[in-house]
Structure formats: structure tokens, C-alpha cells
Homo-oligomer: A and B are copies of this chain.
Amino acid sequence: MGITGIKRLLLGRPLANAQASEEKIPKWKALAVLSSDALSSTAYATEEILIPLAAFGALALTWSVPVAFAIVSLMVIVTLSYRQTIQAYPNGGGAYVVANENLGPLAGLTAGAALLFGYLLTVAVSVAAGVGAVTSAFPEIAEHRVLLGGAFIAILTWLNLRGVRESATFFAYPTYVFIFSLLALIGFGAWRIASGDVPHAAPILEPVSEAVPLFLILRAFSSGCAALTGIEAISNGVPAFKHPSAQNARTTLVWMTLILGVMFLGITAVSHAYGITPQAAETSISQLARSVFGTGPWYYLIQVATALILILAANTSYNGLPWLAAVLARDRYLPRQLAVQGDRLVFSNSILWLSGASFILLALFGGDAHSLIPLYAVGVFLGFTLSQAGMVVHHRRERQPGWRTGLALNLLGAVTTGVVFLVVGVTKFQDGAWIVALVVPLIVALFRKIHLHYLCVGEELTLSHVDAPPHLAPMRHTAVVPVSGVHRGVIDALRYALSITDDVRAVYVEIDAAAADRMQKEWMRWGHDIPLVILKSPYRSVIGPLIEYLDDLEQTATREAITVIIPEFVTRVWWHNFLHNQTAFMIRAALLFRRGKVITSVRYHLRAG
């Protein structure tokens, strides 16, 4: 089995992408597939509220339910706002597209940078939280947290290189299992409280403590806003819905928010009643599940479902990032190549970059979801704000029927998410938001640098200001063939050289005087009339003397072009390539930045195994 065989075995047959994009999915599946990112955040959002409050003291925990209510109100506002986006951008309105079209390139690039960084964080946070679900159930492997996260990322990488699609049906089940098991947890937990089965249950709506400072409550709110991450996925994915797609997407969005709101509020309220406080070694959900169900099959079901939906959430980045990169590349903000999605190699590169970068992020933060979340939330709200603000401008410009209502909803959305963005940015600045303040401008600067380069190159290459067609006069050549000996491998290269010019020179680098003498004698017999140049190499280097010779030749040659014809071997067994062509590789590398040489490889296919 050759390389191709192994690759096929590991990665599967090439996909007909054109076909895949035509496939439309029904609402029940779209809900599962597009909301895994959003719903999975209930796995950590409640705990995020509890952590800053618990640091102040048990009294402060009375604020958790009101804070969750505030966050759910925010969800409603964001949902109403995104319903407008779905209608206005039925082809998918990501923050980059909306901000770029309506607010100009700087806002668009900022949104694009926030999204790009956000995709990394989605992988890092979701995987870290998934690992948290596993290590809560099996604390003995907690010390290998980063390794376990790496294993999850490796599995995602492999699945995506193989070409598993987000729309695959088996991706839908874990979401429903997660929803079902968490609703069961909330329901059974509430029933046990109602039946008086929980001795010291706190009342769910108890009066809040007034001694808690406002800044702390804002911090708790900011932390809990992690619950909103991923809520925009449906508006990005409108084209995937069945006809009428915009209508179906809007309905699905409302359903998703409803489920998300109920789960998030429910978990927060029941956790409060059970008196759950955040622990380093065990997630709050795990504690709650143990308290409600005991450490039995139900408990393990919840942990498994939580880990699975978090891995699914991480997987959404693998679908989102290449698409975003293609849009940015089309607009010349990323290497042009990324826009050509049909070439597997390009797509594979995006996947490997995403996996590598998110693993580094995960490792830098010690595999701890809680330390990564501030970075995540602040970027997400930056995207929300730019997207909603873009919609406000859109309504004013387009003035389509009902634009006033739309404008009012998006204005509310833009202002609210803008305020939340500032609140999160300020209260979480020290906890990692500063990293976003550093990374996003850097990415924007990189986008602009790439764009400028492409503009300059376009200017340099264009023929549109030139009136007459360029003169395509043939060139006159000198061909130089580096030879390592007299053998079959060089014959084709020499024949090729003779066929393109009458000025051919074979060049041999002398490392060992005796070998050079033998070479000279054999050349007399086999070399026809091609002159053999023997170069001395005092420092036993092959490359140095050859490059010097070529430079001299360029000074003295009367011909216009020098073609270096390198005989190369193609081996039958892939690793045998390491046994050949190293010199060819080095010649190529050495000539890379030198002008005016044309480099030609004439390959000899070895039969030897």
C-alpha cells in the first residue's frame, strides 16, 4: 500500500463538496447541530457566576439567581436582534460580513479578528470544560488534564481530516441526550426540593444580600455571559435550512433560546437551592448531579452527555473557521489560497492550524476552562456589538418594510451588547480580557498588511495601463547541469538540456581528487561534446562552488537566461527519498533568492525498491 493507500485508509475518499453544500437539513436536526455550541455553555456558565460570588462569601450566593435572570433577559434581546439579521442576510450573516458591509472595513476586520480568535477559544474552552466533566467523574486522571485535552483535540483533528460533516445525523443525538438529561436533572432536583427531601434547601427566590458590592455583581454577570457564546451560530448557518430557510431559521433560533434559557435558569436555581459552591476539582454540574441522583448511572449519563456536547461544540469551529478564512481570503485579507476550498490540502492546513493553536492555548492555561472563559466572552460580545451595530446602519440604508421595528430591536441589541462588552472588558481585564485587547488589534494589523501587499503586487503586475501587448520574444539560454557522476540518472537531464539550447555545460564538484580523475576519464567516453566543468571545493562543500560558478557565469554570459537543470530521482518507496535528492534540495534552496535563474527538475524514476 503506497502513501495514497494509507491516506485513503486514514482520511477516507475525497468528498464531492459541491454536492455536500446542496444538502438541506430539517429543523430538528439544525437545532441539534447549530446549537451545540450555545447549549453546551450551560455546562460551565452557572459555575462561572458562582466563582466570583463564592469568593466573597456564602451571603453573596443569594445573587446567583437574579444574575441568571439578567443574563436570560440579555439572551432574549440578542435573540430578537439576530432574528433581524437572519431576515436581512439569508445567505448567512456572520459578524464579519455584516460589519464589513455596513460599518466599513475596519469594523469588519475587527469582527473578523474577534471571530477568528473566538474559533480557537471555542475549541480550547469546550475541550477544557469537556475534560472537566470527565475528571469530575474520574478525579484520578485530573493531573493529566492537558494530555486528555490533547487527546480530544487529536480525535477532532482526525475526524475532520477524514471529512466528517457537521450535518452528519449522528452528531444530532448527543445534543438531545444532553438536553434530556439536564432537564431530568433540573426536574428531579426541583421535585426533591418540593417534596421536602433536601434538608437544608435554600429558597430559590430568597432576598438578596445588600452587603455585596456592585462591582462583584457585575463580575458575576460578566462571567455568566459565557452562557451566550455560540448563540449566533444559527444566523450564520441560514443557508443550511430547508425552504423557507429564513423562516425556519428564525423559528429554530427562538426554540434554541427557549431551551437555553430554561436550562441555564433551571441549573442555576437548583444549584442554589442545593447549596452548590464551586470546587477546583469538580464541576458544579457534577456536584449537583451527585447531590440529586447520587453517584449512579444517571450521574454518569450526565457527565458523558456533557463531555460529548462540549466536544461537539468544539467541532463547530472546524466547520466555521475554514468558511471564515475563505471569505477573508476572497477579500484578500488572508493568503489567497485559502479561498480555494476545493483543494483538500488547503482545508487540511486550516484544520491543523486550528488544532495546533487551540492546543497551545489549552496548554498555556493548564487545561483550565475557567481561566480561558474571560478571553472567550469578551471576544464574543465584541462580535455581537459590531454585528448589531451593522444591522442598525443596514436598516437605515435599506428601509425595507418594517424597518423601524427592526432598527429599534437592533439598536437595543447593539447598545445592550455594547454595554455588556464594556462591562466584561473592564471587570475581566486582569483575568485575561487584556489578551484580547492585544491579540485582536494584532490580527487586524496582519490582515491589513496582507491586504496592502496584495494591492501592491496587483499594481505591479497589472497590464491594464499598458497599451501594446508585451513582446514575447524567445530567450537565448545557457543550460547548466550539475552531475554527480556518469550514470543513467543524468542522461535524461543532459538530453533535455540539449533539446532546449546548444550551450550546455555539465558541472562536477570535486571533493576527492581521485574520484574527479575517474569522472574526467569516463566523461571522455560518455559525455559526447558537452564540456565538463570541474569545480574545486577547498571546504568540501558541494553547494558553495556551484553557486559561485553560476554567479560568475551570469557576469560573463552573453545569453539572456541561465537554466539550472537538476537531475532528481523519484523513488518507489517514499522514505527512500531521504536517501536521494538532498543535494538537489540544497541547490534549490540556495538559488531561491537569486535572480534570473530558471530551475528545472528532470526526474529519473528508479525501479529499485
Contact = CB atoms under 8 A, between A and B. Distances in A.
Interface in A570-609: 570, 576, 578-580, 582-583, 586, 589, 592-593, 595, 597-603, 605-609
A543 B343 contact: yes
A361 B537 CA distance: 38
A343 to B, nearest CB: 5
A182 to B, nearest CB: 40
A593 B570 contact: yes
Given A463-B488, A491-B472, A608-B456, A450 B579 contact: yes
B603 A601 contact: no
Given A579-B453, A605-B595, A340 B511 contact: yes
Given A474-B498, A475-B496, A599-B601, A343 B541 contact: yes
Contacts of A601: 598-600
Given A17-B539, A579-B453, A461 B474 contact: no
Given A469-B526, A494-B472, A454 B579 contact: yes
Contact of A341 (B336, B540, B592): B540
A487 interface: yes
A582 B329 CA distance: 13
Nearest to A330: B512
Copies in the complex: 2
A477 B335 CA distance: 34
Given A472-B494, A499-B475, A541-B340, A453 B18 contact: no
Contacts of A500: 477, 499-500
Contact of A608 (B14, B17, B457): B457
Nearest to A537: B342
Contacts of A16: 538-539
A423 interface: no
A499 B528 contact: no
**Most chain B beta carbons < 10 A, residue from A450, A463, A486:** A463
Interface string A465-479: 000011011111100
B489 A461 contact: yes
A460 interface: yes
A294 interface: no
A473 B461 contact: no
A109 to B, nearest CB: 17
Interface in A344-399: 344-346
A191 to B, nearest CB: 49
Interface string A135-163: 00000000000000000000000000000
A525 B460 CA distance: 19
A526 B463 contact: yes
A542 interface: yes
A456 B586 CA distance: 25
A5 B609 CA distance: 43
Contact of A539 (B18, B460, B595, B609): B18
Most buried by B among A472, A525, A526, A601: A472
A561 interface: yes
B17 A525 contact: no
B453 A473 contact: no
A279 interface: no
A531 interface: no
A342 B541 contact: yes
Interface string A538-550: 1111111000000
A216 B606 CA distance: 56
A345 to B, nearest CB: 6
A608 B342 contact: no
Contacts of A543: 343, 345
A462 interface: yes
A337 B603 CA distance: 19
Contacts of A165: none
B498 A472 contact: yes
B598 A599 contact: no
A495 interface: yes
Nearest to A343: B541
Nearest to A525: B469
Given A456-B609, A539-B16, A608-B457, A528 B489 contact: no
Contact of A540 (B17, B496, B605): B17
A331 interface: no
Interface string A263-278: 0000000000000000
A306 to B, nearest CB: 33
A501 to B, nearest CB: 8
Closest 3 CB pairs of A and B: A342-B540, A456-B608, A342-B541
Given A343-B586, A500-B500, A570-B592, 15 more contacts: A18-B538, A336-B579, A337-B582, A340-B511, A340-B540, A342-B541, A460-B607, A460-B608, A461-B488, A470-B488, A475-B495, A476-B499, A477-B499, A499-B561, A600-B601
Interface of A: 14, 16-18, 335-337, 340-346, 450, 453-454, 456-457, 459-463, 469-470, 472-477, 486-489, 491, 494-496, 498-500, 511, 525-526, 528, 530, 537-544, 561, 563, 569-570, 576, 578-580, 582-583, 586, 589, 592-593, 595, 597-603, 605-609
